[in-house]
A = this chain, B = another copy of it.
């Protein structure tokens, strides 16, 4: 009986989702269930070591609260803003999110304090792992996750494996240009899809539409992407138009992505995926028009089903996958 109980015990991982503003962390089991989660302010100004101290403390606390013994936790998985070095577990140049953290060996800092190996990947790759594991991309070997927020990132899984590229910078699909004569982007390029279909782009587009209609009553209000989602849900035609336009722009980038990578599913994640109901139809229509029929067979374009949990779930997957040759019983 005891052996049977041991056999059925789940493995767990510590998961960390590091952002410039908040750090989310928790304990996730090997079915992808978030057992405990909490958050604290990252406060990047204090530097990485002080942050790691607080994170390790919080991870231990989370395990205790979840009733998970430390010896059933195999590793720590971390999703963080790039650019970073996966193999070395180092944040190489995490600007503008974490100024002063260039070169911070986050894996070593956490492993030393937690007594477990730590594994790192960028937040968009971690989101792709989560979708592939227990989300909209479950069981799919070729998928692209677009994280739509302040910027646009992406994680690409091809033939079942995350694409990293030469220096772990693959998947910067926000800097796929849809217009070589378009507006200038911080990356140096022009017309990057990030300039047409991120949260700031949505707000800009909506404001343009407001001005065009001379809707003085609204003009002064501070407009956020969330406020536009809400207005769209309440039936506001301008908000819907703006979201549909963003959906069409996304479709133009997705058409190129589909030709490049021939994925089975493209998943919208991140803040803007909250408005997927308004984005998806125009996006799909553009892809239908602009993609070779052979590449459309079996192709799906869907919203993430994981929402905000995706960062922790994917970080846990990273830890559990990397540790899969070990056993903790």
Contacts and interface: CB of A to CB of B under 8 A. Distances in A.
Interface of A: 83, 92-93, 141-142, 156, 158-159, 161, 163-181, 187-191, 249, 252, 255-257, 259-264, 289-292, 294-295, 297-299
Given A83-B294, A290-B188, A259 B167 contact: no
Given A172-B260, A187-B290, A289-B188, A163 B158 contact: yes
A260 B173 CA distance: 5
Contact of A167 (B165, B172, B190, B298): B298
B187 A292 contact: yes
A161 B159 contact: yes
Given A141-B166, A166-B142, A180-B178, A290 B260 contact: no
A209 B163 CA distance: 42
Contact of A165 (B142, B166, B173, B174): B142
Number of copies: 2
Given A83-B294, A177-B178, A179-B181, A261 B163 contact: yes
Contacts of A263: 165-166
A294 B169 contact: yes
A141 B164 CA distance: 11
Nearest to A298: B166
Contact of A190 (B158, B161, B290): B290
